[in-house]
Amino acid sequence: MTPPAEQVHPEQGVQPVARLSLASHLGLTYRAGQQRMVREYQHRAGLVFVYAGASVHGRRDGEPVRLPQADGERLIARQPQAEQALRQRLRELGLSPALRQSQALPNDSAEMFQAASEEGWLQFVQHGLPELRREGWRIEIQPGFLYDFSPVDDWYLDIRHGDGEPNHIELELGIVIDGHRHSLLPLLVRLLRQAPELLNSRSHKTRGGLRVRLESGANVILPFARLNAILGTLGELYLPDQPGGNSLRLHRLDLSRLAQLGQNGLRWQGDRQLPAAAAPATAGVSPSGLKASLRPYQLQGLAWMTHLRELGACGILGDDMGLGKTLQSLAYLLQEKQAGRQRQPALAIMPTSLIPNWQDEAARFTPQLRVLALHGGNRHRHRQELAEYDLLLSTYALLPRDIDYLREQPLHLLIFDEAQNLKNPRSKAALAAQQLQAGQRLCLSGTPVENHLGELWSLFHILMPGWLGDLRAFTRNYRTPIEKQGDRLRLEQLRQRIAPFLLRRRKEDVARELPAKTEIVHWVELNEAQREYYEWVREEMQHKVRAQIERNGLARSQIVILDALLRLRQACCDLRLLKPARPLRGSSSAKLDSLLEMLDELLAEGHRVLLFSQFTSMLELVEQALHKRGIDYLMLTGATQDRRTPVERFQAGEVPLFLISLKAGGTGLNLTAADTVIHYDPWWNPAAENQASDRAYRIGQDKPVFIYRLITRGTVEERIRQMQLEKSRLAQELLGSDSEGNWALDEREVDSLFAPLPKPGT
């Protein structure tokens, strides 16, 4: 009888090493929802545990690992807890056990894992695999694995002067893999023209990237976060009229925005002086002799204007009302004169009402400048003396009349104050402005976009013709995608393109010494007589508008619609504005009654009040009521000849109440003696209301300011207010301002504006 063999115990303590195989297979899969077979990729990650060179997988409790040897067999005990920890690590990185078989890897060759989606695979390959490699895992990528990406060692930007064209530069964008450069521009241009939504739809939803195959055959993944930062600056990649090639052809003025790319982890190559020259100084130096102490943001504005001149560029100073755009412009002009650069006069074009303001500020802050106002009937007698002055002042109304001799005068600097007056490119003032000769042009406007993006194009067409393309290209590339399709990527692209040439500061950001501003909507309920008239007018106007739309269409009915809405708005203000045929019983205006109660209280408390209305006739009705109550007031409308005297009296504290028409008082007034602003009626354009409010809330104000808007509840005024809020987002995102969007009414808005009054108490 043969004695039993000596029992062999498995070797303890040998730890497993994880090996992960990654593979893909294109096969047929049945889709129940489509009720058919479809071809699609399947991907698997196969997990194997390696003990001293022997590979095992699966859960076989108690069964040792067997390693054949020359003198027999080596047995190694498996480590279930260690193996389970490795499985758990894959789960932590987003993989889960695969429940179905796949030909991606041979059956029973490993424990199969998979990701739940393509995005899951991208996340695993980008972030999980590097971690596993660092932890000692063996990674085997099978040929054809769809997510086999070459690691990107570096990104680069190669910038150089354009061949034979001093106004252009060539820019190449690429990546470095294994020491070799690969240009990305041709590939990105092709991909983004075919599917521009690649970045728009996914960049904000994932930390993943864009998968591309290089001409070398290498697959790489480009992180969306970095691509968005780069392509938001290099927006021309999206445009169909940009030629292809390995480099992007840009204007030298693009240097200002290209300077931002150095902050995105990109390595500059080529001419390093180009991006260095693009960065503006953070603050300027106040010119000697300036009779004012410039605040830090004003010194920054001075440096910005200087930087534009050095680049040979123009721009828009878009500061809030009250931040001193006129002072910054005068300081810049004084600086140019003292540096000996000004050999021709400067010309400032403005609304007629601002001529005295410019004269006063120039005399006060820059008395060294010789100033000539080309205004009034005697202005032509100075035609031969223009070159003897440092600063000429004219108006938008007079510019077309005087263009014959003004265009013959070379100008060092051309300034357009309240430049929104040029928003219509076909207006006489805009056409005349394009004919002037100037070394540099500046627009001053707190509201460069009042109604739609076409107004922004008009300003840049005067400042830097061609910078935003012609009007047709601008509409195709920017206005239609942004305004009609809500394309945020194209909005960011436009913002990046104009950013170096538009300096926008808000009071709350830079003038922290200003006291608080509180805005309050004061709701008013129509009285019974107003409700009756309002409904009668609404029904009549609604029938008229509908008939007009049926005859001529919505687009050609806008004037009729606005005229009908005007009558509804007048009914909200005071029925006497409608000139009713029969006598009125009781009060003609609940809003006027409410206003008078407010004024009694405010004036008794010592407040100083600005009251704005767009209707001069409404101010006359207010005036009559104030006479009856014995309340002293001042008044300024478009018919006021002497604007200075009432402003000086109010600022001196002689009179506590100032009635101002919105159009006449929206610009050019400094009324910091006021601490309360009342808007009697809402205007379509909230920017115009904000400008009016800024007569009081500006530099020099040392009291908290309260702004009241009187709105009749349930009426067209409330709906206008809602439309203001809805349509203000575009300019706010583009400029960081509180302007509004497009005020051409669509059918839904027309229906809303002519809706019946709600029943009382609802």
Average pLDDT over residues 518-534: 88
Rounded CA separation 717/688 (Å): 16
Residues 164 and 101 in one domain: no
pLDDT tens column, 586-632: 789 999 998 998 898 889 888 999 999 999 999 999 999 999 999 99
Quote the pLDDT of residue 460.
96
Burial class of residue 269 in the structure, from the number of CB atoms within 10 Å of its CB (0-12 exposed, 13-18 middle, 19+ buried): middle
pLDDT tens column, 293-322: 998 999 999 999 999 998 889 999 998 777
Quote the pLDDT of residue 739.
38
Tokens, residue 146: 């769809």
pLDDT tens column, 704-744: 888 999 999 889 898 888 877 666 655 566 665 433 334 45
Quote the pLDDT of residue 618.
95
Burial class of residue 375 in the structure, from the number of CB atoms within 10 Å of its CB (0-12 exposed, 13-18 middle, 19+ buried): middle
Quote the pLDDT of residue 3.
47
Query: Rounded to whole angstroms, what are the CA distances from 61 to 38, 48, 352?
Result: 40, 16, 94
**Residues constituting the chain:** 762
Quote the pLDDT of residue 16.
94
CATH number of 567's domain: 3.40.50.300
Rounded CA separation 411/220 (Å): 54
pLDDT reading at 644 higher than 50: yes
Phi, psi values for residue 61, rounded to 5°: -60, 130
pLDDT reading at 273 higher than 60: no
* Region for residue 119 given its phi and psi (left: phi exceeds 0; alpha: psi -120 to 50; beta: otherwise): alpha
**303 occurs within a structural domain:** yes
CA dihedral 150, 154, 155, 157 (to 10 degrees): -140
Query: Could you please report the per-residue DSSP string of 362-429?
Result: HHHH-TTS-EEE--STTGGGGGGGGGG-SEEEEETTTHHHHHHHHTTS-BSEEEEETGGGG-STTSHH
Contact 464, 253 (CB under 8 A): yes
- Domain C-terminal end among 141, 168, 202: 141
pLDDT reading at 199 higher than 80: no
Task: Return all residues near 53 (Cβ < 8 A) that are at least 6 apart.
Answer: 67
- Domain C-terminal end among 141, 163, 196: 141
**415 occurs within a structural domain:** yes
Rounded CA separation 359/378 (Å): 17
End-to-end CA distance of the chain: 107
Task: Return all residues near 596 (Cβ < 8 A) that are at least 6 apart.
Answer: 625, 629
- Domain C-terminal end among 90, 119, 141: 141
Quote the pLDDT of residue 554.
80
Q: Which residue has the higher pLDDT, 61 or 704?
A: 704
**675 occurs within a structural domain:** yes
Task: Return all residues near 623 (Cβ < 8 A) that are at least 6 apart.
Answer: 633, 635, 659
pLDDT reading at 115 higher than 90: yes
**45 occurs within a structural domain:** yes
pLDDT reading at 204 higher than 50: no
Quote the pLDDT of residue 664.
79
pLDDT reading at 331 higher than 60: yes
Rounded CA separation 689/612 (Å): 9
pLDDT reading at 6 higher than 60: no
Quote the pLDDT of residue 736.
52
Average pLDDT, the chain: 84
Structural domain for 241, as ranges: 154-278
Average pLDDT over residues 672-678: 91
Quote the pLDDT of residue 735.
64
**1 occurs within a structural domain:** no
Query: How many CB atoms are located within 10 Å of the residue 456 CB?
Result: 24
Contact 243, 249 (CB under 8 A): yes
pLDDT reading at 104 higher than 90: yes
pLDDT reading at 102 higher than 80: yes
Pairs from 461-466 (Cβ < 8 Å, separation ≥ 24): 461/425, 461/434, 462/416, 462/422, 462/430, 462/433, 462/434, 463/314, 463/315, 463/316, 463/501, 464/253, 464/313, 464/314, 464/501, 465/434
Residues 486 and 339 in one domain: yes
Nearest to 45 by CA among 154, 185, 192, 147: 147
Rounded CA separation 235/507 (Å): 30
pLDDT tens column, 455-473: 999 999 999 998 898 999 9
Residues 477 and 533 in one domain: no
Residues 656 and 597 in one domain: yes
Burial class of residue 424 in the structure, from the number of CB atoms within 10 Å of its CB (0-12 exposed, 13-18 middle, 19+ buried): middle
Phi, psi values for residue 474, rounded to 5°: -65, -40
Whole-structure pTM value: 0.64
pLDDT reading at 549 higher than 80: yes
* Secondary-structure breakdown of the chain: helix, strand, coil percentages, each rounded to the nearest 5: 40, 20, 35
Which of 430-439, 523-532, 685-694, 720-729 shows the lowest per-residue confidence on average (mean pLDDT)?
Answer: 720-729
Query: Could you please report the per-residue DSSP string of 75-89?
Result: EE---HHHHHHHHHH
Residues 111 and 164 in one domain: no
**355 occurs within a structural domain:** yes
Rounded CA separation 619/170 (Å): 60
Residues 309 and 235 in one domain: no
Residues 449 and 483 in one domain: yes
Residues 269 and 316 in one domain: no
Q: Which residue has the higher pLDDT, 745 or 723?
A: 723
Rounded CA separation 408/415 (Å): 17
pLDDT band at 210 (very low <50, low <70, confident <90, very high): confident
Task: Return all residues near 642 (Cβ < 8 A) that are at least 6 apart.
Answer: none
> Based on C-alpha coordinates, what's the Rg of the chain?
36
**556 occurs within a structural domain:** yes
Residues 439 and 379 in one domain: yes
pLDDT band at 200 (very low <50, low <70, confident <90, very high): low
Contact 693, 675 (CB under 8 A): no
Quote the pLDDT of residue 220.
87
- Taking CA 613 as the corner, what is the angle to CA 612 and CA 619, rounded to the nearest 5 degrees? 100
Residues 345 and 463 in one domain: yes
Residues 81 and 97 in one domain: yes
**Considering the chain, what percentage of its residues have pLDDT values greater than 90?**
39
Residues facing 174 on adjacent strands: 156, 183
Quote the pLDDT of residue 271.
60
Task: Return all residues near 215 (Cβ < 8 A) that are at least 6 apart.
Answer: 182, 187
Number of domains present in the structure of the chain: 4
Quote the pLDDT of residue 238.
56
Quote the pLDDT of residue 253.
77
Which of 328-337, 428-437, 501-510, 524-533 shows the lowest per-residue confidence on average (mean pLDDT)?
Answer: 501-510
pLDDT band at 385 (very low <50, low <70, confident <90, very high): very high
Rounded CA separation 484/228 (Å): 22
Contact 700, 671 (CB under 8 A): no
pLDDT reading at 666 higher than 70: no
Quote the pLDDT of residue 686.
75
Quote the pLDDT of residue 270.
60
CATH number of 382's domain: 3.40.50.10810
pLDDT band at 203 (very low <50, low <70, confident <90, very high): very low
pLDDT reading at 478 higher than 80: yes
Average pLDDT over residues 442-451: 86
Query: How many CB atoms are located within 10 Å of the residue 497 CB?
Result: 21
Tokens, residue 711: 């709105």
Residues 492 and 473 in one domain: yes
pLDDT reading at 137 higher than 80: yes
Contact 541, 756 (CB under 8 A): no
Task: Return all residues near 669 (Cβ < 8 A) that are at least 6 apart.
Answer: 643, 647, 660, 695
**290 occurs within a structural domain:** no
